[in-house]
Structure 1
Amino acid sequence: MALSYRCGKLLALNTQRHFHLSLNAYQSLSSKSPALSRIFCCWRTQRQVTQLWTSRTWFRGFRSRKNQVEEPSGIQSEQVSLLRPFLYTFAVCGASFTGAMVLNYENMRRVFQELQSGSKQDAESPFKKRSQKAIGFRDHLNSMWSSLSNGQKLVLGIVAANMGVFLLWRIPSLQSTMLRYFSSAAKHPLPSMTLSSFSHISFLHLFVNMYVLWSFASVGVNMFGMEQFGAFYLSAATFSSLTSIACIRLLRRPMSVSVGASGAIMALIGAVCVRYPNAQLSIAFVGEIFPHSFSADTGMKCLIAFDLLGLVLGWKFLDHAGHLGGMLFGLLYTKYGSKYVWGNREKIMRWWHNIRGKP
């Protein structure tokens, strides 16, 4: 690990030394050779991407929300406007919940049609499949899938998406694209604010986040329902990226990029803890060695205090602003949003019903 660090630094120093030498030669020859000028510009662009990629500290350790990596010093945080990220976050939240309401209508419509047609399929949930005799491997998988709860099915889909993105990061030819669209930063395209929540810097980072998500997702789905939970997750992920970017802008911190699902997970933890404050929790894996438990309310307050301390002291190991943004979203939505947003979904469902017509 230490050897990798030294090698990375040595590579960066050598690259920088050769770059300055090549720059002097380029300035003297570029006027004589336009082709050389184009080649050098392409090499310089590749060098910037390579230097940024090699500066990513893969060996700094696990970071629960996002891994922060400093971008080239030429980018100044004070030049970044918060208007576009704010409008994008508002659009994602609106589109997510509108889509969830439409999906909720479609699921209810499907159940009604099944009941009306006298189908023998289970009408309790449109996601449950008809039980069949296991004939082959495919039927066995179908049986296993049918035995899962709605929350488990949803979280498995999220886990699969995170694993897919994790594998894409390992393809060298895609790294510049992944860095641009799957890591959140103020200068990156706006969709990166959402897509970064599916990126993880290491397998440990991915494993811990997905383990915590799996632990809380079933409770969250029982609280919100499948459709509302999906909208909640995407909106929380985007909102946490907004708070991270806003913190860098307002506190004039060095520009950085970040990845990880912990913003959405912190929102889920906050929602569960505020709904069930007396539920008993324990730290994963530690409880097997040192039996312990604490109330959900106590755990939530400790997480908030830890991230506030990290934000004030400027700790760079975690994206504390993203954590706090996710927690804030979870608390506010559970207390108010679920009632005033999802509780008024009838208007959207009626509008969609008029478009679809009678079943």
Structure 2
Amino acid sequence: MNIIRGGLARRLRTSIIRKCKSRGITTGNCKRQEDENGNSFRQNIEEWNNPNGPLDPSVLIKPFIFTVGFSAVSLGVAKTFERRRIHKEETRIRKRKSMPEDSYYKKPDWITSEDFGSAAFFPIFLLNVVVLLGWRLRPIQPLMVKYFLANPASPTSSWPMLFSAFSHISGVHLLTNMYVLYSFTQVTVEYMGPEQFTGFYFSAAVVSSFASYVARVVLNRPGFSLGASGAVMAVLGYACTLEPEARLGFAFIPFLTMKAGHVLAGLIAADTFGMFSQNSMFDHAAHLGGTIFGIFWATVGSHALWHSDHIYDVKSKKKKK
């Protein structure tokens, strides 16, 4: 769920006004409160919002270069760590073969593939929690607005493409995204392995943000957004593409299940329609960009760009050539 311009600004203002009232400050004085740089909260928000006039397409040049470069670095670093892990595992196996069976350590039976999914999920979850707490600290709010809201018109439009994917305005917003991510992390890590998943997730974050930027320029809808849902939709798109016949349940209505392929098609249709809607509070372009990236990685990217020499099967804990 990427909350965009109007809804986000209202939520941020409401949050600060509520805090002021709890401290005995009147609403009028609260709205006039200034930060250490002399800017009001409204100025901090509107400085990175460009509601007047169309966006120049040239604002997409730097974000495009950043998207390509950052994705390449993320995947390259992930591949390096995967090779190191595989090398260590191969070394350990060779040592085992040269030792009596009862003299080497055996991995406990209770260690399963779920540990790989949890190891990939919880660092992402903790990063999101830390950023959420950062929004509650008034002294650093100008910094949060500058780097944790994705806006193509911002003077700093590149790094927020990544940081905004770890930024949420409320606990409900964060938990909703993290619930969906956790639901699909396990199956995704089973196919990818933990290193490729991490590189994929970080790349999906910037790709989905760039899709949002393109839509804002093309549709002339300046504004900002935040939330992990673009990257989460990439994970969902990847998993549903590889397991289209899997039955997916829904929170609070467990008796209702649908095939993953049908759910994916429905989400694509809904986000395509929502992207052209004038009144939606969600960044459907980011959702759609993330979903398409996930489908691409499942069908083409992982095979063409990853070039794994070894496949680490976390289900069986065996390496295959």
Alignment TM-score, normalising by the size of structure 2 = 0.78
Q: Residue in 2 aligned with 1:51?
A: 42
Match for residue 210 of structure 1 among 160, 178, 195 = 178
Partners of 1:319 and 1:11 in 2: CA distance: 32
Deviates more, 1:112-121 or 1:227-236: 112-121
**Tell me, which stretches of 5 or more residues in structure 1 are unaligned?**
20-41, 56-68, 123-129, 132-143, 347-359
Q: Residue in 2 aligned with 1:175?
A: 141
Partners of 1:319 and 1:258 in 2: CA distance: 7
SS at match of 2:59: coil
Partners of 1:81 and 1:292 in 2: CA distance: 44
User: Is 1:303 matched up with 2:267?
Assistant: yes
Deviation of residue 223 (structure 1)?
1.4
Deviation of residue 231 (structure 1)?
1.0
Partners of 1:107 and 1:116 in 2: CA distance: 14
Match for residue 297 of structure 2 among 326, 333, 337 = 333
Partners of 1:183 and 1:297 in 2: CA distance: 32
Deviation of residue 166 (structure 1)?
1.0
Match for residue 258 of structure 1 among 225, 238, 241 = 225
SS at match of 1:256: coil
Q: Residue in 2 aligned with 1:233?
A: 201
Q: Residue in 1 aligned with 2:252?
A: 285
| Offset from partner CA, 1:97-149 (integer Å, 9 cap, x none) | 11111111100111123234448345xxxxxxx66xxxxxxxxxxxx999951
Indicate conservation of the 8 Å contact 2:45/2:145, yes or no.
Answer: no
Alignment of 1:1-359 (within 5 A): 4=14, 11=28, 15=32, 43=38, 46-47=39-40, 50-52=41-43, 71=49, 73=51, 77-78=55-56, 80-118=58-96, 120-122=104-106, 149-186=115-152, 187=154, 188-253=156-221, 255-287=222-254, 291-342=255-306, 344-346=307-309
Deviation of residue 269 (structure 1)?
0.9
Deviation of residue 335 (structure 1)?
0.7
Calculate the aligned-residue CA RMSD, in Å.
3.3
Indicate conservation of the 8 Å contact 1:71/1:257, yes or no.
Answer: yes
Partners of 2:242 and 2:118 in 1: CA distance: 20
SS at match of 2:294: helix
Indicate conservation of the 8 Å contact 1:52/1:72, yes or no.
Answer: no
Indicate conservation of the 8 Å contact 1:236/1:264, yes or no.
Answer: yes
Aligned residues with identical type, % of pairs: 30
Partners of 1:268 and 1:232 in 2: CA distance: 9
User: Residue 196 and residue 148 in structure 1: after superposition, are their counterparts in 2 closer, same or farther (change >3 A)?
Assistant: same
The structure whose residues are more often strand, as a share, is 2
The structure whose Rg is larger is 1
| Offset from partner CA, 1:178-235 (integer Å, 9 cap, x none) | 1111121112341110111111110000111111111100001011111111111111
SS at match of 1:149: helix
User: Residue 282 and residue 12 in structure 1: after superposition, are their counterparts in 2 closer, same or farther (change >3 A)?
Assistant: farther
User: Residue 11 and residue 245 in structure 1: after superposition, are their counterparts in 2 closer, same or farther (change >3 A)?
Assistant: farther
Partners of 2:112 and 2:119 in 1: CA distance: 9
SS at match of 1:292: strand
Moved over 6 A (4+): 144-147
Partners of 1:333 and 1:199 in 2: CA distance: 24
Q: How many residues align?
A: 282
